[in-house]
Structure 1
Amino acid sequence: MQWSYPILRVGDTEIRIHLTFLLLLAWIGIAYFQEGGTSAAIEGVGFTAAVFACVVLHELGHAAAARRYGIRTPKIKLLPIGGVAELERLPEKPLEEVVVALAGPMVNVVIAALLIVVIGATAGIDALTSMDNPRVALVARVAAVNIWLVLFNLIPPFPMDGGRVLRALLATRYNRLRATEIAGIVGQFAAFAFGFIGLVVGNVLLIFVAIFVYLAATAETQAAGLEAAARAVNVRDVMISRFESLPAIATLDEAAQALLRTTQHEFPIVDRGGRLRGVLTREGLVAGLQQRGGEAPLVEAMAANIPVIRDHEKLIKALKPLKSGAVPAVGVVDAKGRLVGYVITENIGELMLLRSAAAS
């Protein structure tokens, strides 16, 4: 099941909304309706939508700053606890990461300033402490939300914006992996603190934030470790080199027979010169059999435009297309362009598993 759906595109960035966010809107609408009827429900959902519009602008701030350094942001995902800008890669230099990290909160500073100075909203104590109180003006509450977004995002738990600034500062003294590990530990400790406070005061949202921060800090640390390993390892040392390929003239029935007699879940498709034409996955084979029948050429069901790299290159060059999920494999070729192996996501997972075992 697909859990997020595109709702808008800004430049080359697709904004997607997670299904659970729609459930949040429904829950807010029902809760407000029970308290004050239809008008209250509309006001509650409208306020929530305004808050998340500010969150989208916050994430677009990150994307705009990243674009200055040649980094694309293919997706921004809206979740019940906030937004996530999925950059295609992280900034290489500490100063660049600081700029990208602070760009989001600066957008909220600008929004709050515009609402307070231009529109005349009053973000007083009532607005800052009672953002769910409908008796406080909507514009004042939105201004207060932006102030809180600035303060909350600048605390140092990684991978929040303040945590990314912390990692960038640490990277001026340590290598990138070590800086990420330290920032990740800070983030995990902060997550436990958030969770404890949330349990004590009965704040469910804070508990969800704690879970998100812990999982995100762990994932970012693992991703940094993976990139460091991929930069140090040659692809020939990780690639699948013993495999059965299929000729481009084969049929889906012949591919099905190969699936049964081997342990492979994907089959490189090569021409007579041994050059990669595409990859037929198990899922593609099943779909092809259902839609076209066994006599159909397998090239009609294969994934084409598979990227290839030379066998002497580092694994990091294969990591990017695999992480994006756009391709099922990356081919590895020799000097004459002939396929000598391929890399799939499982290879990289096994590499990290072995490295973790060797380090323990």
Structure 2
Amino acid sequence: MSRLGSLYLHASTLAFVLLIVLFTGRSESILFCVGIWAAALVHAAGHIAAANLAGELPEAVTLYPFWSTTRLFRSPMSIPADMKLTVSGPLANAALGAAMLLSFDGPLGRQPEWFGQWARIQIGMGAISLLPVFPLDGARLLRLILKLRYPEEQAFQIAGFINQATAAGVFFWALIQGFYGIAAAGIALYLIGRFSTFLLVIGKKINEARTIDDESMNEDEPEDGRTITLTQTADGVWQQVEPSPNNEVRLYF
């Protein structure tokens, strides 16, 4: 992985660029890829701007072939504040895409075709990121909305069911339409959703075992109610994050 300050370029991104240049060499394909990466950076910039307004700084931004992740190491936030931070990325894409479309046939004359394509990519990335499918922003937003009414565990279970149903819907729709690449993405999102639910169960089992061990070592010590948080790093590796009363680690896609 290459690093430019706190901006990371994942190895898959560099490999993807090389494949595009070697096997296509077409300016249209290269412009399309540049448009996707520009949309990913705008998406990350939206999260960063919202984090700065909330008084937090991002730890790292990682650029993948078709998306980006913004990693924050921050103090706990209220649900409404977290919701604002979650939607900031998609809103940044939608706002810029709409502005580009409005200026496509503006006072300066008609813009090149790639300009309109980039505008559609911006809007498309904003819309796709709001799908209620883990690990997209839409899944986090759905979970936050559900937490306003349900306990956290129940909210996660409901969100997991919606996640799997949406991913399955994407798969069958893409299969019928002949979009086999999107169908493969639907399968991947479905499996990721199943895996994230499995990690939640494992985390709860680990927490229960640790709580029992703590109580057996010191019966006079009150239960501290600690929980185990499993999160995915910018490298795509799942790891345990030790609980802290002062901070949390969050990824925004």
TM normalised by structure 2 equals: 0.70
Counterpart code for 1:7 = R
Change in 2 beyond 3 A, CA 1:74/1:208: farther
- Specify the alignment match of 1:19 in structure 2: 11
Asked if the contact 1:62/1:101 (under 8 Å) is kept, the reply is yes
- Which residue in 2 is equivalent to 1:61? 46
2:192 is the counterpart of 1:213: no
1:177 to 129, 137, 153: 153
**2:37 maps to which residue?**
52
The offset of 1:222, in angstroms, is 4.6
Q: 2:141 aligns with which of 162, 165, 170?
A: 165
- Compared CA separation, residues 320 and 184, structure 1 to 2 (3 A): closer
1:73 aligns with 58
CA RMSD of aligned residues (A): 4.0
Pairs within 5 Å for 1:301-340 = 315-316=226-227
Change (3 A) 1:321 1:142: closer
Contact 1:195-1:206 at 8 Å conserved across structures: yes
For residues 28 and 171 of structure 1, do their structure 2 counterparts lie closer, same or farther at Cα, with a shift above 3 Å needed?
same
- Which segments of 5 or more consecutive residues in structure 2 lack a partner in the other structure? 107-111, 241-253
For 1:261, the equivalent position in structure 2 comes to none
State which of 80, 92, 96 in structure 2 corresponds to 1:95: 80
Q: 1:92 to 1:231 in 2, by over 3 A?
A: farther
Residue 104 (structure 2) pairs with residue 121 (structure 1): yes
Compare 73-82 and 164-173 and name the one that shifted more. 73-82
1:40-98 superposed Cα distances (whole Å, 9 cap, x missing partner): x2442233123212212202322332454565532333333422333446965321232
CA contact 2:203–2:229 (8 Å) conserved in 1: no
Q: Is the 8 A contact 1:230 1:315 kept in 2?
A: no
- Residues 1-360 of structure 1: matches in 2 within 5 Å? 5-9=1-5, 14-33=6-25, 41-69=26-54, 72-88=57-73, 92-117=77-102, 120-121=103-104, 137-222=113-198, 224-225=200-201, 237=213, 315-316=226-227
Normalised TM-score (structure 1): 0.52
| Bigger radius of gyration | 1
Give the % identical residues: 22
Describe the SS at the equivalent of 1:62. helix
What SS class does the counterpart of residue 74 from structure 1 fall into? Answer: strand
Residue 129 (structure 1) aligns with = none
Q: Is the 8 A contact 2:36 2:66 kept in 1?
A: no
Cα pair 2:98 2:123 within 8 Å, conserved: no
Question: Letter of the aligned partner of 2:21 in structure 1?
Answer: G
Question: Aligned in 2, Cα 1:201/1:187: closer, same or farther, shift over 3 Å?
Answer: same
| Paired residue type of 1:161 | D
Match of 1:7, SS state, is strand
1:142 CA displacement: 0.5
Supply the distance in 1 between the matched residues of 2:78 and 2:40 (Cα, whole angstroms): 26
